[in-house]
Amino acid sequence: MSQELIKQLQESADYIKEEIDIKPKVALILGSGLGVLAGEIEDKVEITYDEIPNFPVSTVEGHAGQLVLGTLEGIEVVAMQGRFHYYEGYDMSLIGFPVQVMNLLGPNKLVVTNSAGGANRNFNVGDLMLINDHINFMGTNPLVGPNEAELGPRFPDMSEAYNQELIELAEKVADEQGLGLRKGVYVGMTGPTYETPAEVRMINKLGGDAVGMSTVPEVIAANHLGMKVLGISCITNMAAGILPEPLSHDEVIETTQRVKPKFINLVRGIIKEL
Ligand code: R1P
């Protein structure tokens, strides 16, 4: 079973390698409405997910569904413009699969981004938050199943799931840009329903600052591979019960449009230093 996984990963990576003549140093995952960053990549090759053997396809609005490979600030990168979510119906292990494929292309650093609800009452819509830790509330884990030792250990350490050096680097870049950043804990839920006000109160009590339906499985897969991870959440709305408003994906996408310039500048500034 696990040898089958290695074979599939290799097939996917080999297909991508045939299409490119770069060796990416950094992998990026672009969250809902944040795919615009892929437009900044130069000399790019775009490969739609349905072309890549064994790859899932993304079904969510605001997620284009392609890998974009090229250079950003002179650094060779591979970006997922569109990600996979557990609520789309994929097996959890499949959510980690693209991270494992990207790692085979070369990168040992992953910049993962998402749109998230602010559960911390001090946050404002439009804030950017560096993720310093997460809580896995998805009830499962992408590494459930036989472990493939070629990829990583059976029991991966998660004591620094989000790399401290990368957090400090991001803070330095934000400082230079005069950009105020939040820092906090991302809570991953399965979705697709947004959280209830009672769930948001629980998240608050447990130490969560932002909540969403992605990121956690990708970060687990990346840590298993020994990759260094930087996580950035765009606070696109306040989580349920904090403001007297219903939540909608349209609002999420609208906020990302507004935050786009500072998000792009921050990520470009960070990539330049990697
Ligand atoms: C809900 O509006 C969607 O936005 C977030 C949630 O996880 C959910 O998919 O998207 P990303 O986490 O992919 O940015």
- Here the tokens at position 134 are 């997460």
In degrees and rounded to multiples of 5, residue 182 shows phi and psi of -95, 165
The fold of 2-273 is: Rossmann fold (3.40.50)
Give the per-residue pLDDT at 33. Answer: 81
61-75, 83-97, 106-120: segment of lowest average pLDDT: 61-75
Write out pLDDT tens, residues 97-147.
Answer: 999 999 999 999 999 999 999 999 999 999 999 999 999 999 999 999 999
Q: Is the pLDDT of residue 252 over 90?
A: no
Give the per-residue pLDDT at 1. Answer: 45
Q: Is the pLDDT of residue 167 over 50?
A: yes
Q: Is the pLDDT of residue 218 over 50?
A: yes
Write out pLDDT tens, residues 184-210.
Answer: 999 999 999 999 999 999 999 999 999
% of the chain residues with pLDDT over 70:
97
Give the per-residue pLDDT at 2. Answer: 59
Give the per-residue pLDDT at 62. Answer: 60
ipTM of the complex: 0.98
What is the 227 CA–ligand 1 centroid distance (Å)? 23
Give the per-residue pLDDT at 238. Answer: 87
In degrees and rounded to multiples of 5, residue 250 shows phi and psi of -60, -40
pTM of the model: 0.95
Q: Is the CB of 85 under 6 A from ligand 1?
A: yes
Mean of pLDDT values over 87-106:
95
Q: Is the CB of 109 under 6 A from ligand 1?
A: no
Q: Is the pLDDT of residue 170 over 60?
A: yes
Question: With 0-12 CB in 10 A as exposed, 13-18 as middle and 19+ as buried, what is 74?
Answer: exposed
> Could you please report the per-residue DSSP string of 154-219?
SS---TTSS-HHHHHHHHHHHHHTT---EEEEEEE---SSPPPHHHHHHHHHTT-SEEESSSHHHH
- Of the candidates 85, 55, 81, the one whose C-alpha atom is nearest the C-alpha of residue 69 is 81
Q: Is the pLDDT of residue 222 over 60?
A: yes
Q: Is the pLDDT of residue 63 over 80?
A: no
Q: Is the CB of 214 under 6 A from ligand 1?
A: yes
Q: Tell the residue nearest (CA) to atom 7 of ligand 1.
A: 213
Question: With 0-12 CB in 10 A as exposed, 13-18 as middle and 19+ as buried, what is 82?
Answer: buried
The residues near 7 (Cβ < 8 Å, ≥ 6 apart) are none
Q: Is the CB of 115 under 6 A from ligand 1?
A: yes
What is the 1 CA–ligand 1 centroid distance (Å)? 31
- Here the tokens at position 222 are 């990346």
Report the distance separating Cα 268 and Cα 28, nearest Å.
11
What is the 119 CA–ligand 1 centroid distance (Å)? 15
The residues near 228 (Cβ < 8 Å, ≥ 6 apart) are 108, 109, 110, 163, 165, 166
What is the 212 CA–ligand 1 centroid distance (Å)? 6
